[in-house]
Amino acid sequence: MTPDGSPPSQAEAEELGPLAGLRVLELGTLIAGPFAGRLLSDMGAEVIKVEAPQRGDPMREWGADKLDGHSLWWPVQSRNKKLITLDLRAERGQEICRELAARSDVLLENFRPGTLERWGLGPERLCAENPGLVYARVSGYGQTGPYSSRGGFASAGEAISGLRFLNGFPDQPPPRSGLSIGDSLSAMFAVVGILAALRERDTVSGRGQVVDASILESCFAMLESVAPEYHRLGLVRQPTGTTISNNAPSNVYRSADERWVVIAANSDNLFPRLCRAIGLAELAVDERFATHDDRGRNQAVLDEIIGAWAAEQTADEIQHALDAAGVVCAPVNSIADVFADPQVIAREMLVPVDDEELGEVLGPGVFPKLSRTPGRRHFSSGWTAGSANAEILGDLLGIDDGEVAELHHQGVI
């Protein structure tokens, strides 16, 4: 619903996105909670981001590489959000937060479990005051269980879930992926839960509920057949480096111009095409490679043959030859390569954020793409903590200017 209680118009939905009229109160810091808020904002929701006075979200300072002293994390995660300051440890700050929750569709938080309950802001109280509230919680290990009170970072959730164990090469320390995958996964699962809860509220019960998303479970959900393989076969899947174990050919190969290229022809229809494309059609009828299982057993031999061919071609030549043959192939792109990739450009995967301090900053586009209401076409991010205080506290909650000034003097905002 829009701020005045009416549903959004078709024009508003087409301009802002399918979640136009939805109000989200974002509590929390760093990646998981704010990333979930950003995804909702991308699709048109009004996201009110609460930051602590004086301190703000640490994301404002993250990153060793800065532009004019400013973090480049912030324009990505804060885009389109209305920034307010509020001391949730102060009694008046808690009262204001409850008033905002009473006027919101979703509350999104990623504090350590139990923190908001101690501040009088837990779901039992807030959902009683606003029965339609969807209260979404992102944490390291979930709201229950023996680990629930532990602090949870992406690295810990990836490790304990089994996801990190599978990364890297055998007999080497399991590396991180290069990104905080656990945070991003838990944010996306939280958004799935929020949308499911809103759907149920609006079509069935009229009531909200708690969405409990954890980094641990979000990572574990990605493990494909690893769990049943252990349950029924006693198999503990091991890291396989750049390959897919017993699934060949599927690997990265070095080109003549020293780029890595993925070549995947690990199916019965693709393998003969690859053999013809590399000028070795006879491999398709070689008994060593006759079936999927045969190719898996002789993976190392195949990799040596394909690697020798790839080493004599440039990455572009490999791509051209295998595209023509209908074989799956892709370069391993750096971000510099991504910026120049025609598919990235055609799909608007990079969109400008108009940042008040840094000017134009390119960031990820809105995904997935919807045909009628595709999400926000224009992005903006702000640095001034509390820049929306007057709008939210004054216009939405009706707090007069004198009290707003006093709240600022007291350090509540």
- Chain segment 278-318, per-residue pLDDT in tens: 999 999 999 999 999 999 999 999 999 999 999 999 999 99
The answer, yes or no, to whether residue 64 has pLDDT greater than 90, is no
The answer, yes or no, to whether residue 5 has pLDDT greater than 90, is no
The answer, yes or no, to whether residue 6 has pLDDT greater than 80, is no
Q: If you ran DSSP here, which 8-state letter would residue 174 be given?
A: P
Cβ–Cβ under 8 Å, residues 21 and 123: no
Which three-class secondary structure state does DSSP give residue 129?
helix
Mean residue pLDDT of the chain comes to 94
Two tokens, residue 318: 């490999």
Q: Which pLDDT score, from 0 to 100, does residue 281 have? A: 96
Cα(289)–Cα(304) distance, integer angstroms: 14
- Tell me what the mean pLDDT of segment 53-72 comes to: 91
> How do the domains of the chain map onto residue ranges?
10-222+348-410, 250-254+260-331
Two tokens, residue 409: 């003097």
The answer, yes or no, to whether residue 10 has pLDDT greater than 90, is no
Tell me whether residue 183 is one of the annotated catalytic residues. yes
Q: What are phi and psi of 210, to 5 degrees?
A: -90, 135
Q: Which pLDDT score, from 0 to 100, does residue 4 have? A: 54
Sign of the CA dihedral with 86 first, then 90, 94, and 99 last: negative
Give one word for 69, left, alpha or beta, with left for phi > 0 and alpha for psi -120 to 50.
left
Cβ–Cβ under 8 Å, residues 136 and 194: yes
Cβ–Cβ under 8 Å, residues 158 and 216: no
Cα(32)–Cα(249) distance, integer angstroms: 36
Around 361, how many Cα atoms within 13 Å sit in the side-chain half-sphere? 26
Residue 222 pLDDT level (bands cut at 50, 70, 90): very high
Total number of residues shown for the chain: 413
Give the C-alpha distances (Å, rounded to integers) separating 320 from 46, 68, 258, 307: 45, 42, 17, 17
Give the C-alpha distances (Å, rounded to integers) separating 83 from 14, 49, 298: 24, 5, 58
Two tokens, residue 33: 């909670």
Per-residue pLDDT of 348-383, as tens digits, reads 999 999 998 999 999 999 999 999 999 987 789 889
**Residue among 312, 317, 331 nearest 260 (CA):** 331
Residue 2 pLDDT level (bands cut at 50, 70, 90): very low
Give one word for 241, left, alpha or beta, with left for phi > 0 and alpha for psi -120 to 50.
left
Strand order across the 328-331 sheet: 250-254, 260-264, 328-331
Which three-class secondary structure state does DSSP give residue 209?
coil
- Tell me what the mean pLDDT of segment 232-238 comes to: 96
Two tokens, residue 287: 């008994």
**Residue among 204, 159, 166, 165 nearest 182 (CA):** 159
Equal fold, 10-222+348-410 vs 250-254+260-331: no
Task: Confirm or reject CATH 3.40.640.10 for domain 10-222+348-410, answering yes or no.
Answer: no
The bridge status of strand 46-51 relative to strand 350-355 is unpaired
Q: Which of 7-16, 131-140, 250-259, 302-311 has the lowest mean pLDDT?
A: 7-16
- Enter the pTM of the model: 0.93
Q: Which class is 250-254+260-331 in CATH?
A: alpha beta
Q: If you ran DSSP here, which 8-state letter would residue 187 be given?
A: H
The answer, yes or no, to whether residue 60 has pLDDT greater than 80, is yes
Considering the candidates 57, 87, 183, 355, report the single residue annotated as catalytic.
Answer: 183
User: How many percent of the chain have pLDDT more than 90?
Assistant: 89
Helices (H), 20-73: 32-42
Q: Which pLDDT score, from 0 to 100, does residue 3 have? A: 47
**Residue among 74, 47, 17, 40 nearest 377 (CA):** 17
